[in-house]
Amino acid sequence: MERSVWTERMLKRLETSQEQTVWYSLWDKVWQPDNLAQAVLGVIVNRGSAGVDGQTTQQLSMDWTRQQEQLQQELRSGRYRPQPARRAWIPKLGSAELRPLGIPAVRDRVVQTALRAVLEPIFEREFAEQSYGFRPGRGSLQALQRVESLLLSGHTWVVDADLKSYFDTIPHPPLLQLIGQRVKDGKVMELLERYLKAGVMASAKEWQPSPQGTPQGAVISPL
């Protein structure tokens, strides 16, 4: 997906970028037709539940050309506004508690996927080498291979730690400040803030604000 968003000049700069490198003109990459088309395809392939508007990925696949063009026009004109996420609860592994999910509308997942394609290469190069979760080309298999190599080298201890309700309690101002150290495009930052502040629909008629946290279930949240 990088190649459809990042020009050769940008990729060259990205390869030599340092932690203090900032990026100013990214907005047009978000609504670039190739980027949106790949985002639509990714959302259709991943399937998933409908959001608050009831639209399914199957409906998107039947009408994706028109919806892609509509999203592009809304993004270019500044009319696009994300909808609240739909609240759902799922069992929490190893606990009697339930985990809250925030399921964005299908069209919002498309835009989030397109946005992630623009932002992910910038921050991916800064993440820890021993980090494997929610990263392109990495997953549980690579993590297990790392564990095996550590075992073979003589390591015998495992530390299991968890930050309680981490996604639900991320403070917005520091998060945006940290992203803003690298991303200086005001429209991109505004869109990120809109996602954070969109809130959730706890029921068909009950909207709840989201003063902190980022929805588990949103495409952009793991990044």
Picking from 205, 39, 168, the residue whose alpha carbon sits closest to that of residue 108 is 39
> Percent of the chain having pLDDT more than 90?
75
pLDDT in tens, 128-155: 999 999 999 999 999 999 999 999 999 9
pLDDT in tens, 31-61: 999 999 999 999 999 999 999 999 999 999 9
pLDDT in tens, 88-138: 998 887 778 888 899 999 999 999 999 999 999 999 888 999 999 999 999
The residues facing 87 across adjacent strands are: 102
What distance in Å separates the CA atoms of residue 166 and residue 163, rounded to the nearest whole number?
A: 5
How confident is the model at residue 94, as a pLDDT? 77
Picking from 91, 88, 115, the residue whose alpha carbon sits closest to that of residue 217 is 88
* Residue 2 pLDDT greater than 70, yes or no: no
pLDDT in tens, 165-209: 888 999 999 999 999 999 999 999 999 999 999 999 999 889 999
Report the Cα 104 to chain-centroid distance in Å: 11
- Checking DSSP bridges between strand 200-201 and strand 85-91, what pairing results, if any? parallel
Picking from 113, 108, 107, 106, the residue whose alpha carbon sits closest to that of residue 32 is 113
> Percent of the chain having pLDDT more than 70?
98
Question: Regarding predicted confidence, which is higher, 6 or 117?
Answer: 117
Q: Residue 39: what residue type?
A: A
| DSSP codes joined into one string, 79-148 | ---PPPEEEEEEEPTTSSSEEEEEE--HHHHHHHHHHHHHHHHHHHTTS-TT--TT-TT-SHHHHHHHHH
What distance in Å separates the CA atoms of residue 198 and residue 94, rounded to the nearest whole number?
A: 30
